[in-house]
Amino acid sequence: MSITQKEEKKVFGGRQMRFEHVSDVLNCMMQFSVFLPPQADQQSVPAVYWLSGLTCTDENFSSKAGAQRTAAELGLALIIPDTSPRGDDVPDDPDGAYDFGKGAGFYVNATQAPWESHYHMYDYIVSELPKLVEANLPINHQRAISGHSMGGHGALVIGLRNAERYASTSAFSPIVHPTAVPWGRKAFKGYLGDDVSSWEAYDATLLLKKSAGVALPPILIDQGDADNFLAEQLCTHYFTEANEVVGAGAQIRMQPGYDHSYYFIASFIEDHLRFHASNLR
């Protein structure tokens, strides 16, 4: 349960840090980033876990989203894991594709060779990483979860499957119905095999449809209507329809003129952090 600090920068009175550790779940060395607000110098603080999208590492969000200013004001830690296992022994897509293998763990527990030895990102996010940060840093057991694109998919799935662990869930441009779109089908077939029924546990729209009558933590989704992945890969309307059918009460906001980039995330990350803060308290 030990971590090694590699970097630290002061920002908005808090500390932006990077750590590494040996992951038992992923069977490799992993790195993750953390922002600790100034309040963490006096007491333990709640945390928002941020899951990044395809090709990202633990550093994209911390350097591009501008989230630290609001997190410092609200007293929120930001926990930012990598998007896949890493290392020379970790298998990668043989064709070097960006949407499978390293940088594209899809937050599932792989069951197929050669991926099953390392690609257990679901268990890493839900179990191993919280235990690490809560044991080694001034972070308490209050958690919220958010993410972008592939990470938005991960945040919604993890939030829906672990409602008792997260006060709230949010997402930017999430892949809401991965069993129905090319990115998801490719990843699930590779990591989980041909049995499509095994894919359903990692599909937020299908999980939401099964949640009728279940009390869910608050959910907020922002999606730009100028996102070039919206029609083929993200398909927000599937989740919107399921939300209406089951009466889940999720806020789903279409934002005119915004695309898939970190400019979009930076524009609305304050809203998301304030949303989480209100539910964590």
Give me the catalytic one of 120, 148, 153, 260: 260
Q: Which of 23, 149, 170, 173 is catalytic?
A: 149
Residue of 33, 82, 227, 276 marked catalytic = 227
223/11 Cα distance (integer angstroms): 29
Strand order through the sheet with 77-81: 4-11, 14-23, 28-36, 77-81, 45-51, 139-147, 169-172, 219-224, 251-255
* H/E element, 122: helix 121-123
In sequence order, which residues have a C-beta less than 8 Å from that of residue 198 and are 6 or more positions away?
Answer: 111, 192
CA–CA separation, 38 and 73 (whole Å): 9
One-letter amino acid at 168 equals S
62 is catalytic: no
246, 209 contact by CB (below 8 A):
yes
Distance CA 275, CA 171 (A): 12
Which H or E run contains 71? Answer: helix 68-74
Question: Up-side HSE of residue 126: CA atoms within 13 Å toward CB?
Answer: 19
In the DSSP assignment, the letter for residue 99 is T
Q: How far apart are CA 40 and CA 72, in angstroms?
A: 10
Q: Is 227 annotated as catalytic? A: yes
- With CA atoms as reference, report the closest residue to 92 among 78, 106, 105: 105
The residues carrying an active-site annotation are: 149, 227, 260
